[in-house]
Amino acid sequence: MIVGMRFEIVTIFPGFFESVFAHGIVRRALKEGLVTVEAHDLREYAHDRHRTVDDRPFGGGEGMVLKPEPLAEALEKLGIKRGRRESGTEGLGTKGLGTEGLGSDGPETRDSKSRVILLSAQGQLFTQAVARELATLERVVLICGRYEGVDERVSELYCDMELSVGDYVLSGGELAAAVVVDATMRLIPGVLGNEASGEFESFGAADAEIDADVEGVPRSQHGAGGLLDYPQYTRPAEFGGLRAPEVLMNGDHAEIRRWRREQQLRKTLKNRPELLERAALSVEDQRLLAVIRAEEE
Q: What is the pLDDT of residue 100?
A: 35
Tell me if residue 189 falls in helix, strand or coil.
coil
- Model confidence pLDDT, tens digit, residues 171-181: 999 999 999 99
The answer to whether 189 touches 151, Cβ cutoff 8 Å, is no
**What's the pTM?**
0.80
List beta partners, residue 36.
6
Q: What is the pLDDT of residue 3?
A: 63
Q: Kindly state the average pLDDT of the residues 29-41.
A: 95
Instruction: Say if residues 29 and 59 touch (Cβ distance below 8 Å).
Output: no
Rounded Cα gap, residues 235 and 70, in angstroms? 55
Instruction: Say how far residue 234 (Cα) sits from the centre of its chain.
Output: 28
Q: Tell me the pLDDT of the chain averaged across its residues.
A: 84
Pick the CATH number of 204-296 from 1.10.1270.20, 3.40.50.720, 1.10.357.10, 3.90.1170.50: 1.10.1270.20
d(CA 232, CA 226): 18
Q: What pLDDT, on a 0 to 100 scale, did the predictor assign at position 95?
A: 44
C-alpha to C-alpha distances, 117 to 25, 26, 154, 252, nearest whole angstrom: 23, 20, 11, 46
State the average pLDDT over residues 56-69.
93
Res. 4 pLDDT band, cuts 50 70 90: confident
125 strand-pairing partners: 164
The pLDDT tens digits for 67-110 are 999 999 999 999 999 986 554 434 444 344 443 333 334 433 46
Check if the beta carbon of residue 192 is closer than 8 Å to that of residue 198.
Answer: yes
- Residue with the larger pLDDT of the pair 112 and 144: 144
Task: Provide the 3-class DSSP secondary structure of residue 213.
Answer: strand
Query: In sequence order, which ranges of the chain are alpha helices (DSSP H)?
Result: 16-20, 24-31, 68-77, 106-109, 128-134, 152-158, 173-185, 253-271, 283-296
pLDDT of residue 118: 98
**Domain coordinates of the chain in residue numbers?**
5-185, 204-296
Architecture of domain 5-185: 3-Layer(aba) Sandwich (3.40)
Concatenated DSSP letters of 80-138: PPP-PBPTT--SIIIIISSSTTB-TTHHHHS-TTEEEEEEEEEEEEP-HHHHHHHTTSS
Give 197's pLDDT tier (boundaries 50, 70, 90): low
Q: Please give the Cα distance from 273 to 152 (Å, whole number).
A: 35
130 and 162 Cβ atoms separated by less than 8 Å = no
